[in-house]
Amino acid sequence: MFSRAYKTAVTLPPLLWVTVFLLVPYLLMFCYSFWSVSASQTILHSWNLDNYVQLLRVDVYWQTLLRSMWIAARVTVFSLLLGYPLAYFLSFYAGKKKDLLYQLVIIPLWVSYLVRAYAWKTILGSGGVLNTLLQYVHLTKHPLEFLLYSPFAVVLTLTHIYTPFAFLPIYAALEHIPRNLVEASHDLGATPGQTFWKVIFPLSIPGVLAGATFAFVLSLGDFLAPLLLGGPSGIMISNIVVSLFGAAYNWPLGAAISLCMLLLVVSLLVFSERLEKRWSFS
């Protein structure tokens, strides 16, 4: 129905833009990762694998990567634990208030990330809201130090940020489940609890996978929360990259790490997509 001219006209401009501003940059990053930096802080276009070797050899890099993955994993698990029952409640028990509650869940997403992370800083600090409250009610005598500038603070803040992200696809998946399946399950003798595990949960798995993927990938690459709240023990891989592009000035190494992250993320996405397909039944 659409002429070749039409199809070319709609395809070409975005294709060109995306090639220049998305594809080429990734390719550049690929190239940079094989270059190195000279003593005088210029970039040498000499092709070598030094950066990758460094990544494997030097402890701090892969240790930080592992720590970042561990933090991201915890954030994912907590976000799912918080987000799934919430989504289930809204979808099956909230009735007429469903829409309103849904809006209430997504509103925090619109309060800038920075602002929310900063708010946690004021809450968790030794002179902050939580500590002064705990001392005020005499639950503690001294401020709790671990609350801020620790992995704990990073996990807490990122969970706060990404719980709505986990919630959204789970809610969408739950809403998609035809209600007559739930009725059929009851009709056949299953209690609401049995119905949940045998019918509702299996059918919501693609949503859970999508939510988990968002939470994990985005936490993994986060650098703001660690900078604000992580302290020295809460440094994540992106922070290392940021410094390599900043004060530590080693773009090629930074590019190498970024490329690894990119590949990691893309493989996770592909893996997650495959799993989602296996578990989708409509």
Partner 1 sequence: MELLVSDVKLVSGSRWLLLHAVAVFAFLYLPIVVLILYSFNGEGVGGFPPHHLTLDWYRTLFADGPIWDSVLNSLQVALAAMVISLTFGVPAALALERAQFPGKALFRRLVLLPLILPGIITGLSLLMLFNVMGTKLSLVTIVLGHGTALISVATTEVFAGLQKLDRAQEEASLDLGANYWQTFWRVTVPNLKLPIIGAALLIFTLSMDEIAVSFFLIGRDNTLPLEIWGRLRRGITPEINAVSTIIFAFSLVAIVFWYRLRMRGESTAEAGAEFVEAVEGGAA
Partner 2 sequence: MSSLTTPAQTSPRVDDRPASSSLLRVRNVAKVFGKNVVLRDISLDVAEGEFLTILGESGSGKTTLLRIIAGFESASAGEVWMGEERLDRLPPYRRRVNTVFQHYALFPHLTVEQNVAYGLRVAKRPEAEIESRVAEALDKVKMSAHAKSKPSKISGGQQQRIALARALVNRPRLLLLDEPLSALDANLRRQMQVELKSLQREVGISFIFVTHDQEEAMVMSDRIALLRSGELEQVASPREIYGRPATAYAAQFIGHTNLLKGEVRGGVVRCNSLTWSAALPEGPVLFSLRPENIRLAAGSTNAPGTVRIRGKVRHQAFQGATELIRVECSDGLVLVVRISGSGGALTDVELEFSAEDAVVVRESPERS
Q: What are the E-state strand segments in 102-214? A: none
Residue 181 structure tokens: 């399946």
Interaction residues for partner 1, span 124-153 (CB under 8 A): 125, 127-129, 132-133, 136
CA distance 221 to 261: 8
Residue 67 binds which of partner 1, partner 2, none (CB < 5-8 A, kind-dependent): none
Please report, as residue ranges, which positions from 181 to 220 form the binding site for partner 2 (by CB under 8 A). Answer: 181, 183-191, 194, 198-199, 202-203
Which positions from 40 to 79 touch partner 1 by CB under 8 A, shown as an x/- string?
----------------------------------------
From the CB of 84, what's the least distance to partner 2, in Å?
A: 18
What is the CB-side half-sphere exposure of residue 163 using CA atoms within 13 A? Answer: 18
Tell which positions 203-232 bind partner 1, by CB under 8 A.
210, 213-214, 217-218, 220-224, 228
In the complex, minimum distance from the CB of residue 53 to partner 1, in angstroms, rounded to a whole number: 21
Location of structure tokens 């992370």: 117
In this complex, which beta carbon is closest to partner 1, that of residue 126 or of residue 233?
Answer: 126
Q: Which stretch binds partner 1 (CB under 8 A): 50-58, 82-90, 145-153, 274-282?
A: 82-90
Residue type, 271: F
Instruction: Please report whether residue 121 would count as binding partner 1 according to CB under 8 A.
Output: yes
Q: What is the closest distance, in whole angstroms, from the C-beta atom of residue 190 to partner 2 in the complex?
A: 4
Question: By the 8 A CB rule, do 134 and 126 touch?
Answer: no
The radius of gyration of the chain's CA atoms, rounded to the nearest angstrom, is 23
Distance between CA atoms of residues 191 and 202, nearest Å: 16
Residues 183 and 209 sit within 8 Å (Cβ to Cβ): no
Name the residue nearer to partner 2 (CB basis): 170 or 217.
170
Question: Nearest to residue 213, comparing CAs of 277, 276, 153, 151?
Answer: 276
User: What is the residue type of 188?
Assistant: L
CA nearest to 156, candidates 208, 109, 129, 119: 119
178 touching partner 2, by CB under 8 A: yes
CA angle 42, 257, 115 (to 5 degrees): 100
Give whichever of 29 and 50 is closer to partner 1, judged by the CB atom: 29
Q: Does 35 bind partner 1 (CB under 8 A)?
A: no
- Shortest Cβ distance from residue 94 to partner 2 (Å)? 18
CB of 166 to partner 2, least distance (A): 22
